Structure 1
Amino acid sequence: GHLIWVEHGRKAAVLISFFEQLSTATRDGIKAVSMVMGQPYQSAVRKMLPNADIVFDRFHVMQNYCLLIKKERAKAFRNGSHEDKKMLKGTLFLLLKNAHKLDERQSDRLGDLLESNKTLCIVYMLKEQLQAIWDEPCYKSMVKALEAWCDLAKSTRILSLCNYADALLDRKVGVCNYAKYKLTNARVEAGNVSIGLLRRRARGIRDIEYFKLKIRQTSVPDTHSTFYPNIKLM
C-alpha cells in the first residue's frame, strides 16, 4: 500500500514512463491494473502490459452514475412547479446516499420525493440495483447481471440512462474484471486526499519537484523516532 512513484500529468506518456522504469520481469508479472476510465491510462496499460487485465474502479463507475442523478434532479428542478421545487430542495444527499444509511426521517422524505417524481424514482431504484452488481461471485455472473441492468436501463427510454448503459456496455470487460481480482482504487484515492490536503496547506505550489518530494515524504509512515532512533513508533 505504499506510494512507489509520483509524476505530474494525466497523459498516456506519463504512465508509460513509469512502466519503462520497471524490469521486463516485473512488467510481465503484473496481472491486473485498477484505474479510472480515462482513455490515456487504458492506452498506456495496453501498450506496456498487453497481458494484464484492466479493472475499472468501482467508485468511479458509481461516481459517474451519481453525476447522472445530479443532472436529472437539476432538470426536474428547472422544469418543475413551485411545489415541485419545494419538494426537491435539499434532497440531493438523499438521492446519493445509500438507502441503509438513511435514518427514518430521511427515508420518509426520500419516499415522498420518489413518489412525486417518476424519473427520479426510476433513476434511484436503478442506482441501488447497479451497486448490487459488484456482489456477484464470478466474472460470468457479473457480466450477466451488468447486461441485464443495461437492458433494464434502456427500457426506461430515459436518454441519460440509455447513454450511461451504452457506455457501461462498452467497458463491460473492465468493469466485470472486478469479480476476478476484487481490485479497487481505494488506496490511491486515499493518497489523493492526502495530496489535496498538502496542496491546500501549502497555499500554492511553485516548485513541482519539491511538491513531489513532500508527497513521497507524507506517504511513508514513520516507524522510528528521528531523535530517538532506537525507539520504534506504534
Structure 2
Amino acid sequence: MSIHAVSKHLGIRWETVKNIDKAFLLSTLPALEPEKITSLVHIGVDEVARAKGHDYMTVVYDLVSGQLIWVDHGRTSNVLINFFEQLSQQTRDGIRAVSMDMGQSYQSAVRKVLPNADIVFDRFHVMQNYSLLIRKERNKAFRNGTHHEKKMLKGTLFLLLKNAPNLNDKQSDRLDDLLESNKTLCTIYMLKEQLQALWDEPDYDSMITALEAWCQLAKKTRILSLINFADALWDRRIGICNYAKYRLTNARVEAGNVSIGLLRRRARGVRDTEYFKLKIRQTSIKEAQSIFYPEIKLT
C-alpha cells in the first residue's frame, strides 16, 4: 500500500506514516557495508532518476548474485569512486569487468580506481541510442514528407523499433511498404538488424571485425546521423566488444530500475532522499514479507 493510502486508512499524517516506515526499514534492512563485501567479479552500474527529469541516484549490482550492493545520491564519478574506495584492496583487485552505459563519469571512476577491470558497454544502451536515431529520422521524414508520405509514416514508429520476428503478418506487410517507399528509413532499418547481430559474434576479435565492417557500411550511406553514430561506436569499440569476453549485460540492473521507477511513480515525488534509498534497498530484497502476515510473500 502507498503511504497516502495508509495515512488515509489510519487517519494519521502522511509524514507520520513515512517516519514509521523509515524507522522500520532502518532497523530491519541489512546494512550496506562495502568494506565487508568479498568475491566481486562482475558488477553493473547505472543511474536512476530520483524524480523524472531531475537529480539521480547511482545503483551498483553484483551481476553474479544479482543483488543490489550500493545505492547513493548523485551520478558523478566521485559517487562511484566513494563506493570503490570503501571496498578492500583484495575485493577491488578481484573485479574483472564493470557493465555500464556509455556515460563518461562512471568510465572515469572505473579507470581511476579499477585500472585492471574491463569496461563493458551494455548492449541495451547501444540499441537504445540507435532507437533514438530511428525516431529522429522518422520524425524528419514526417516533417518533410508530402501528404501521401505522411499518411504512410503515421503510426509506424513501433514497426521500425520492434524486431522483425515479433511482427505479425499485417504489421510485416505494412513495414515492407514503408521501407519500399523510403530509402533512408530502409537503410537505417536494415543496419539496425545487422547491428543487433554483432552480439552474436563468438569472440572479441570477430566482434571487432564485424563492428568495423558495420561502421564502414554506415559511413557509405552518406546519412549524417548514421555516420555520427558509427564514429561514436568506433570510438567505444573496446567497451562494446568486451561483451564477447564476458557476455555481460545490465539486464539485472534494468529490472531493478523498473521496480525503482514504479516506486517513484507510486510515491508521486520523493522529498526524503535517505528514505528513497531505503525503499530502493527494500525493493531489491527478493523475499520480503509482511510484518502482519509473515506467511505471505510480498515480492
Residue 92 of structure 1 is matched in structure 2 by 157
- Quote the offset at 1:229 in angstroms: 6.6
Cα distance in structure 1, aligned partners of 2:94 and 2:268:
41
- Alignment of 1:156 onto 2:221: yes
Residue from 87, 108, 120 that aligns with 1:55: 120
How many Å apart are 1:82 and its aligned residue?
A: 0.1
Q: Which residue among 275, 280, 292 is the counterpart of 1:210?
A: 275
**Is 1:111 the equivalent of 2:176?**
yes
Scaled by the length of structure 1, the TM-score of the pair is 0.96
Q: Tell me, which stretches of 5 or more residues in structure 2 are unaligned?
A: 1-65
Deviation at 1:218, TM superposition (A): 1.6
2:253 maps to 1:188:
yes
Identity %: 79
C-alpha separation in 1, matches of 2:81 and 2:217: 39
Instruction: Find the counterpart in structure 2 of residue 130 from structure 1.
Output: 195
Letter of the structure 2 residue corresponding to residue 20 of structure 1: E
Change (3 A) 1:232 1:85: closer
The CA deviation at 1:233 is 9.6
Secondary structure class of the residue paired with 1:7: strand
Secondary structure of the residue that 2:71 maps to in structure 1?
coil
Matched, 1:5 2:70: yes
More deviation, 197-206/171-180: 197-206
**Which has the larger displacement, 3-12 or 27-36?**
3-12
What is aligned with 1:65?
Answer: 130
* Per-residue Cα deviation, 1:117-165 (whole angstroms, up to 9, x for no partner): 0000000000000000000000000000000000000000100000000
Equivalent pairs counted in the alignment come to 234
2:110 to 14, 20, 45: 45
What TM-score do the two structures reach when normalised by structure 2? 0.76
Q: CA deviation at 1:9?
A: 1.1
2:166 aligned residue: 101
Q: Distance in 2 between matches of 1:225 and 1:76?
A: 53
Which of 182, 185, 196 is 1:120 aligned to? 185
Instruction: Give the structure 1 partner of residue 204 of structure 2.
Output: 139
- Mark the CA change 1:223 to 1:205 in structure 2 (over 3 Å): closer, same or farther: closer
Q: Is the 8 A contact 2:287 2:297 kept in 1?
A: no
Which whole-Å CA distance do the structure 1 matches of 2:243 and 2:175 have between them? 31
Q: Secondary structure at the match of 1:50?
A: coil
The structure richer in helix per residue is 1
The superposition leaves residues 13-38 of structure 1 with CA deviations (integer Å, 9 ceiling, x where unpaired) of 11101101100000000000000000
Between Structure 1 and Structure 2, which shows a larger proportion of strand residues? 2
Runs of 4+ in 1 over 2 A off after TM superposition: 223-234
Aligned-pair Cα RMSD in Å: 1.7
- Unaligned 5+ residue runs, structure 1? none
For residue 5 of structure 1, give the secondary structure of its aligned residue in structure 2.
strand
